[in-house]
Structure formats: structure tokens, C-alpha cells
Amino acid sequence: MFSETVELRGHIIDSLILPKVLDTILTSGGSFKIGEVKIGQNRADQSYARVEVSAPSGEALDDLLLRLRQHGAEALEKKEAQLAPAPADGVFPPEFYVTTNQQTFVRLGKDEVEVRPAIMDSGIAIDGNTARAVRFYDVRKGDQIVVGHNGVRVVPLQRSTSRTDIFHFINTSVSAERPKIAVIRELGAELVRIRNEGGNILVVGGPAIVHTGAAEQLEQLITRGFVQRLFAGNGLAVYDIESVFFGTSLGMDLERSALSDRGHENHMRAINTIREAGGITQAVEKKVLTRGIMHACVQHGVDIVLSGSIRDDGPIPGVTTDAVEAQKIMRDKLQDVSIVLMMGSMLHSIAVSNMLSAAVKIVVVDIDPAAVSKITSQQSFQSIGLVTDVEPFLRELVAGITAAETKQEASDSSTAVGMTETAGVKQMSDGAAAK
């Protein structure tokens, strides 16, 4: 048997990291011997474990250690990262290290350098004393790329120690029967906190937002400052604009829930009108487009990233039809996002979630349980999944935000009154002393 000792540090008990490590060892055909375990006595205290890992061959042990590193296991013997040059543009060297979306460090000499950004399915390029995650299209011949797993340390996201964190106490099991109102109200308060602290909120939206009649609620979130970025496809923009011009969404009358006469033409006429104006921004400036989601985004400075597909009609101006270019734009605009609301757009949401750091919070709303489960399964401590229609979710979210703002205003008013009364008492006291 071939063996190596690994260490685990952090909230490895309540975050289930230690059980996952031991289970990985056994299911991979290895064995383990726990040398030492220290469990934190208080909720904020970290724990420690030293585990001897064994496998039937050196190759099997290397493969097992690579799996354990994804859970934060660190070899007792510190080794330096191994590098190899990229053989050609867009090509990694053999055995290149493939990143996860967890915080990752590489050892260069005596120092550890954090890999930025923390995104999955990338390689690691070393330039001097910096380490960056690179996709195939970023690689240039001769770039120094990390190969193997020596010298790489992964720090998995751990469960929050705060009992008030909504993403901590919500069970992530996906079911249409789970009560949702309390969760959505708590989420409303969380969005108020993020906005007040200057955080950026991203919405990844699908055409269902318009089809279900939820466009008005999303427009409210935008006008009230709760959306800084909007990622969508051509469809959301087209159906939003169609609804403004004709009162229909893909030919369906939104008031009567019935097909409109010749309604199938409406989205094509909407596209033509925007193309004639020169684009969405120009249509707003020329007062051709006077309301709706796209209008609100332009009026309130929301970054709009629209990416195309082979299903698109048009598309409208401003849609990025090159998939690689769209990915680059989205990656750039994800760097400072605090939370992502993914609503009614499974494929777009999966694409965005694959570009996110594990530290970014996500909320997934879809009528399909499989879609919710697929997106949230990789972000167990930072995600909330709700199986519901988009319209009631957004309606309840707007109500939750309003309630949280009202509560905050009352608290601020009470604090201000208290400070005024204190100042008045002090002034009277100073006056009496002067007499």
C-alpha cells in the first residue's frame, strides 16, 4: 500500500468536509487512519484533522489525493507547483491542473499565491508572482501552466457561523411543496442590506419573466436600485419590447391570456422597430420605447449583456452572437457581483453559475424542479432554490423589500429621535452647570 498524510482545517465538522473526505477515500478504493482530531468547542472555533491516506498503487494514491484536495485536504509535505509551457495558442500542456470555483492557492517557492478569478473548468497560468485562471482562448504558446496537483491548495467554502444568514439556515432540498413566503421575505431583507452596502445584484432572466406577467415586478426592482446587471438572451429583450408595443408576448395577449389575431407577427415587428431605431438605447432616447424592463435598464444605468443563440429571430442590435465573446463579457462583469437571481432560464443560468466563484450567493427560481436542483447542487452553502412560477416569486420579493425598507426607516427614525433627546438633555445639563 502507498500512503500519504493530509491535514484538514476549518469548520470541517459542521460543513461536512471531514465526512466527505472519508467517504471519498472509501469509495475510491482507499483506506484511512485518523491520526488526530481536534474539534472546536464553540461555534466560531475551527477544527483540525490529520489523516493517513492509503491506496494500492502510487498512481491510485495520486488520483485520490487530487480528489481530496477539492475538499481542502492539504498534504503534510509541502511541495512547489510544477509548471510546463503551453505548446500552442489555445492548447494546455498534458496533465494541466483543472480548477474548481473554490478559492485556490499555488505554492511558488516559499510563497503561496491566490489564483484569480476563482472559476471552474480553467487552467492556471503563472506570470512572475501572479496566478490567473485561464480558459482555452486565453492561452498563448509558451505560457507557464500549472501541471499535476503538487503545490495546489483548495480552500472549500464552509458553512456560515452566523445563525442569521438566510443562506445558512435554509435547507437546500428542492421541492414544490416547501413553504416559500418566509424565505422570500428574508431574501428581500438580504437584498436591501446588499444594496445599502454598495453590493452589485445580477439578474439572469429568461422569457418566462414576460410570459408570466412578471415584467412589472422586475421593472420595479430595477427602478428601486436592486438590479445592477442583467444577463439574458435575445428572447427576454424581444418579448419585453413586444409586450410594450403590442400587449402580447410571443403572440399571447397578456391581459386576456389568449392568442391575439396575427399575434405571431408581433415579435418580428418589435425587432424591426428596434433595428430601425438603431438599438435599445437609441429607442429609449428617441422615445420609441417608453416603458418595460429594457427601458428601465437604460434609464437607471443597468449593465445589459444579451447573448444570442441559433434560435434567435433578428437578433436585435446589441446582442452578442459570438458565444466566446459573450462569455468574456460576462466573466468580466461577474468580478464584483454579490448575489445572482436566476429566474426562468435554465441554460443561461447554468452557463453563468459555471463562471461564478463559490463565494457568490445565488437564488434559483424555476417551475422545473430538475432545473433548480441542477444549478443549486454545486453551491450547497451559498444557494437557495425555489420551485415556483416567476411571477408570484417576484411579486412576493417586491413586498418583502418594501417591508424591509419600512422597518429600516422606522429604526433609523427611532435612532434619530433618541440622539436628539440625548443632545437636548445634555444641553439642559450644560446650561444648569453654567448657572
| Angstrom distance (rounded) from CA 354 to CA 376 | 11
DSSP state, residue 92:
P
Q: At what angle do helices 58-69 and 17-27 cross, to 10 degrees?
A: 160
3-state secondary structure 275-339: HHHCCHHHHHHCCCCCCCHHHHHHHCCCEEEEECCCCCCCCCCCEECCHHHHHHHHHHHCCCEEE
Cell of 131: 496566478
Maximum distance among all Cα pairs of the chain, rounded to whole angstroms: 91
Judge whether residue 32 has pLDDT over 90: yes
pLDDT of residue 275: 95
Helix (H, G, I), strand (E, B) or coil at 232: strand
Q: How confident is the model at residue 270 (pLDDT cuts 50, 70, 90)?
A: very high
pLDDT of residue 178: 65
34 CB-near residues (< 8 Å, 6+ apart): 49, 50, 51, 52
Helix (H, G, I), strand (E, B) or coil at 12: coil
pLDDT of residue 431: 59
Cell of 104: 485556490
Q: How confident is the model at residue 203 (pLDDT cuts 50, 70, 90)?
A: very high
Q: How confident is the model at residue 71 (pLDDT cuts 50, 70, 90)?
A: confident
CB atoms within 10 A of CB 132: 16
Helix (H, G, I), strand (E, B) or coil at 194: helix
pLDDT in tens, 126-137: 999 999 999 999
Q: Are strands 319-320 and 303-307 parallel, antiparallel or unpaired?
A: parallel
Chain position carrying cell 426607516: 409
Q: How confident is the model at residue 426 (pLDDT cuts 50, 70, 90)?
A: low
pLDDT in tens, 95-111: 999 998 888 999 998 89
Q: How confident is the model at residue 46 (pLDDT cuts 50, 70, 90)?
A: confident
- What mean pLDDT do residues 59-65 have? 87
Q: When comparing pLDDT for 71 and 240, which is higher? A: 240
Structural domains of the chain in order of their starting residue, each with its CATH number: 1-76 (3.30.70.2690), 78-159 (2.40.420.10), 166-236+283-409 (3.40.50.10690)
Q: When comparing pLDDT for 177 and 209, which is higher? A: 209
pLDDT in tens, 363-389: 999 999 988 988 887 666 688 999 999
- What mean pLDDT do residues 70-96 have? 90
Q: Would you say the C-alpha torsion 289, 290, 291, 294 has a positive or negative sign?
A: positive
CB atoms within 10 A of CB 30: 22
pLDDT of residue 171: 47
| Angstrom distance (rounded) from CA 163 to CA 207 | 36
pLDDT of residue 413: 75
| Angstrom distance (rounded) from CA 124 to CA 92 | 10
pLDDT of residue 258: 67
- 394: exposed, middle or buried (Cβ count in 10 Å: 0-12, 13-18, 19+): buried
DSSP state, residue 228:
S
Q: How confident is the model at residue 172 (pLDDT cuts 50, 70, 90)?
A: very low
Find, among 383, 303, 282, 390, the residue nearest to 344 by Cα: 390
Q: How confident is the model at residue 221 (pLDDT cuts 50, 70, 90)?
A: very high
Residue 184 Rama label (left phi>0; alpha psi -120 to 50; beta) = alpha
Bond prior to 85 in cis (omega within 30° of 0) = no
317-320 own/partner pairs: CB under 8 Å, 24+ apart: 317/274, 317/275, 317/278, 317/279, 317/280, 318/279, 318/280, 318/281, 319/233, 319/234, 319/237
C-alpha gyration radius of the chain: 26
Mean of per-residue pLDDT scores for the chain: 88
Q: When comparing pLDDT for 426 and 193, which is higher? A: 193
Judge whether residue 208 has pLDDT over 90: yes
- Output the CA–CA distances (angstroms, integers) from residue 57 to 96, 121, 151, in the order listed: 22, 27, 21
Residue type (1 letter), 310: I
| Angstrom distance (rounded) from CA 237 to CA 245 | 12
Cell of 12: 470541517
Q: What is the pTM of this model?
A: 0.79
Q: When comparing pLDDT for 182 and 433, which is higher? A: 182
Q: Are the C-beta atoms of 274 and 268 separated by less than 8 Å?
A: no
- Mean pLDDT is lowest, of 13-27, 236-250, 270-284, 367-381, for 367-381
- What mean pLDDT do residues 30-38 have? 91
